[in-house]
Structure 1
Amino acid sequence: MTASRSAADRGDGTVRSDGIVHLDGTDSQPRVRPALDARVRPALDVRTWKEIAHLLLNLPVAVFGFVYAVTVVCTGGALTLTVIGLPVLALSLLGARQLGKLERARARRLLGVRVEEPSPLPLARSEGLVPRLWMALKDPVGWRTLLYDAIRLPWGIFTFCLTLASLFVLWPVLPYLTRGLTNVDRAMVRGLLSPSDELERRIAELESDRGVVVDTAAADLRRIERDLHDGAQARLVNLAMGLGLAKEKLLEDPDTAAAMVDEAHGEVKLALQELRDLARGIHPAVLTDRGLDAALSSVAARCTVPVKVTVDLASRPAEAIEGIAYFTVSELLQNISKHSGARTASVDVWRTENRLLIQVQDDGRGGARLDTGSGMRGLAERLGAVDGLFVVDSPAGGPTVVTAELPWRDRTA
């Protein structure tokens, strides 16, 4: 009561009948400080709860993966002495790929780990059962997934038990504990379930590029066959028939026979011209003999738009690169003639370090795109197949600037 009287005597507060000093001098109910909980409960965000769910799922997932890995290795190893052993092991490795895919999805959803999917095995492109079987057996993705499943069991048991106990015993440090444990999971996923760095991605790109090259070559062969069948071959058949009729009339009607021979002579000239055009479409002789400067000047002369050609090369590139450069410019100039409505155009070719650069410009209406069906997409795929680049800058109203970039390789002697 001494403290209460002192407070009242000083006029700093009011003493009520309940013995509590009210320092604010009001009649409000007494304010009681809530007792602090002895257990400090940190706020758990969504990310922490996802990490807890991942750690609790580690045990059932690890048990299933361990059983699968052991079964695959033991069964496949035991059956290798029989004819079905290697096929069973190959199918098991393909199944391991699917388990790895599920684990990457779980890590992506619960841990936020963004791991790229490995490239699929190109089994459809392998001819014969043995090459496909061998490709599946040497799949590094499948073997790494089996290793991942084999070493996860003790870790899955440890993380499950520790996380479950922490939910009731170690609550204050649970967020920090789960973060540390899941960082180990993240490292495992990145180390064993991610693609083999740049090498595997590069293999996938090369597989895709090889498919483009094969498809392009097949399309070119079909085009050549069609041109021969519908063009020069048809003319030569008519020529043979005309000469046969002329031979029959040679004695009885020399004048008619002479007219028929004259007509056949005209057909021969047309057939030769078509064969020259076809040969030029396969590989022009001027490109082989005189290089890009002369070959591109020849193409530009056939364009319906005046074209200025500038080729600044101290030496000639490899034949394959030179051919791609020629056909790229040739098709671009054909597009200018057919679609651009331009009045002038230009072609510039030069070398920068280990790259061959091509730039084709026109002052036409613009609007060219890779998906308009004008052959642009095919050009981009062809250049991509040899590590080249293809960029189209064609705003509506023009001008259009197309830049192509090819790797430079020196011509062999």
Structure 2
Amino acid sequence: MGYRHEYGSARGPGDRRHRLPAPLRAPFEARHWRELTYVLVSLPMGVLLFTYAVTMVSLGAGLLVTFLGVPVLAAALAGCRGLGSVERGLARGLLGQEVAAPEPLRVRGKGGALAWMGAVLKDGTSWRHLLYAVLRMPWAVFSFSVAVSFFAYGWAMLTYPLWFWVFPLYGGQDGLQLYGDETHSVYLDNPFEITVTALVGLLFTLATPWIVRALTMVDRVLVHGLLGPSRLASRVEELESDRGVVVDTAAADLRRIERDLHDGAQARLVNLAMDLGLAKEKLAEDPRAAARMVDEAHGEVKTALQELRDLARGIHPAVLTDRGLDAALSSVASRCAVPVSVDVDLAERPAPAIEGIAYFTVSELLQNISKHARATRATVDVWRSENRLMLQVVDDGVGGADATSGSGLAGLAERLDAVDGILVVDSPAGGPTRVTAELPWRRG
């Protein structure tokens, strides 16, 4: 199944081992500083978004008694969409989160100001941007306060042994004061207290990157959920992409059928017609030669019929339509170059389209085993798991199959993806290879 691969031993840049464990190097990593910068920038951005959204919406709501409220509300929503693009840019640059831009406004009719305002006010994406603008500030205040507190106190206490001398030298005090009243005071001024302070600061400093990362996870959810495309729009885009895959696959199948007809049965039938024409001419003068040519033509007819049967079986086998997956897959397995055991455990048949995809998936996998696997045996298992049709093909060949290298497995994965299916390949070098396919059931 695409088993021709080279395995190198050189390590890539991402495989280099760090001398320090992750908790110790986290405060110095670029990721931590980018996330901390995002939290710091979030406060002024949150204030800006909240102020703009509340002011514009309040103004528009107050003016709804007149027609002026409608354009003000539309401008408020449009402004939130514009500020949302800035927020997506910040998330992309500082958090490394790629969030696609939402679907554009769909202005119906001939356009114009009224059509544009109607489109903005009816657009769910615009209202999600407004919700983000309202929620952004309280969360930004909280995350800013927590992150700055841990960062400032952590580094201040960690570096206290370097600057505690400032207090007795310039402040006339014994050190950093923890407590004081009329009778007594507590200062961090002896070596033990200074050491404990530095250790506590070290714990705060090591914990800060993980706390900041947890805070920014909420930001990621907000940006992705409220500023990205809606689930419906994403699903439509996915279906459009899958439709393109289906169309390309169908066109490729038609070209394959045309090529097989042209190079196979059609060419053989043309030769057959020529041979029969020559036999007809020789029939009167040399009946024995004509009979020999007719006999050869009879053999050509049998070969052409077999080729047409094979071609028809490749389009959609009659045994699949008449008797289902069990009989059809058993027929395919009998033609495989290695012994194949087939186990189909289905109480009922799925939709014909899903059944056909399952048949051709197993057929192609068994064909790959015959050509590339160098296996001695294989198994095919088919069963139903809730509303999914499961297929698994296992062989004991040399392994090394890869569905991401542009091989036949990649095309097979695209076919399955077009109908919400999944192809999983587990094929370590040396084998065995286990290919699992999952398809929607879709009752027939």
Cα distance change, pair 140–248 in 1 and its aligned pair in 2 (3 A): farther
Identity %, equivalent residues: 64
Question: What is the identity, as a one-letter code, of the residue corresponding to 1:259?
Answer: R
Which residue number corresponds to residue 228 of structure 2?
A: 194
> Which residue, out of 300, 304, 314, partners 1:271?
304
Say if 2:99 is the partner of 1:116: yes
CA distance in 1 between partners of 2:232 and 2:423 (Å)? 24
Q: TM-score, normalised by structure 1?
A: 0.61
Cα distance change, pair 149–375 in 1 and its aligned pair in 2 (3 A): closer
> Which residue, out of 33, 41, 53, partners 1:50?
41
CA distance in 1 between partners of 2:243 and 2:377 (Å)? 37
* Superposed displacement of residue 194, structure 1: 2.2
> Which residue, out of 433, 436, 440, partners 1:403?
436
> Helix, strand or coil: the match of 2:439?
strand
Question: What is the identity, as a one-letter code, of the residue corresponding to 1:194?
Answer: G
Which residue number corresponds to residue 389 of structure 2?
A: 356
CA distance in 2 between partners of 1:305 and 1:240 (Å)? 38
**Greater RCO, 1 or 2 (C-alpha within 8 Å, sep 6+):** 2
Which residue number corresponds to residue 353 of structure 2?
A: 320
Are the aligned partners of 1:292 and 1:326 in contact in 2 as well (CA < 8 Å)? yes
Q: Structure 2: which 5+ residue stretches go unaligned?
A: 1-35, 54-77, 138-144, 150-218
Say if 2:287 is the partner of 1:254: yes
Cα distance change, pair 270–152 in 1 and its aligned pair in 2 (3 A): closer
Paired residues, what number?
Answer: 303
Are the aligned partners of 1:148 and 1:192 in contact in 2 as well (CA < 8 Å)? yes
Question: What is the identity, as a one-letter code, of the residue corresponding to 1:193?
Answer: L
* Superposed displacement of residue 103, structure 1: 2.5
CA distance in 2 between partners of 1:342 and 1:191 (Å)? 48
Are the aligned partners of 1:335 and 1:374 in contact in 2 as well (CA < 8 Å)? no
> Which residue, out of 185, 189, 212, partners 2:245?
212
Cα distance change, pair 242–141 in 1 and its aligned pair in 2 (3 A): farther
* 1:323-355 per-position Cα deviation (integer Å, ceiling 9, x unaligned): 111111111111111111111111111112211
Are the aligned partners of 1:50 and 1:111 in contact in 2 as well (CA < 8 Å)? no
Which residue number corresponds to residue 333 of structure 2?
A: 300
Cα distance change, pair 253–290 in 1 and its aligned pair in 2 (3 A): same
Are the aligned partners of 1:371 and 1:377 in contact in 2 as well (CA < 8 Å)? yes
Alignment of 1:22-171 (within 5 A): 46-47=37-38, 49-51=40-42, 54=45, 102-108=85-91, 114=97, 116-118=99-101
CA distance in 2 between partners of 1:141 and 1:103 (Å)? 21
Are the aligned partners of 2:400 and 2:430 in contact in 1 as well (CA < 8 Å)? yes
CA distance in 2 between partners of 1:141 and 1:340 (Å)? 60
> Helix, strand or coil: the match of 2:402?
coil
Higher alpha-carbon deviation: 250-259 or 49-58 = 49-58
* 1:115-166 per-position Cα deviation (integer Å, ceiling 9, x unaligned): 7214778xxxxxxxx9xx9xxx99989956777999999x9xxx9xxxxxxx
Question: What is the identity, as a one-letter code, of the residue corresponding to 1:117?
Answer: A
Cα distance change, pair 337–366 in 1 and its aligned pair in 2 (3 A): same
> Helix, strand or coil: the match of 2:322?
helix
CA distance in 2 between partners of 1:148 and 1:405 (Å)? 35
* Superposed displacement of residue 109, structure 1: 5.7
Cα distance change, pair 322–119 in 1 and its aligned pair in 2 (3 A): farther
Q: Structure 1: which 5+ residue stretches go unaligned?
A: 1-44, 63-94, 122-129, 160-171, 177-184
Which residue number corresponds to residue 259 of structure 2?
A: 226
RMSD: 4.4
> Helix, strand or coil: the match of 1:386?
coil
Q: TM-score, normalised by structure 2?
A: 0.57
Higher Cα radius of gyration: 1
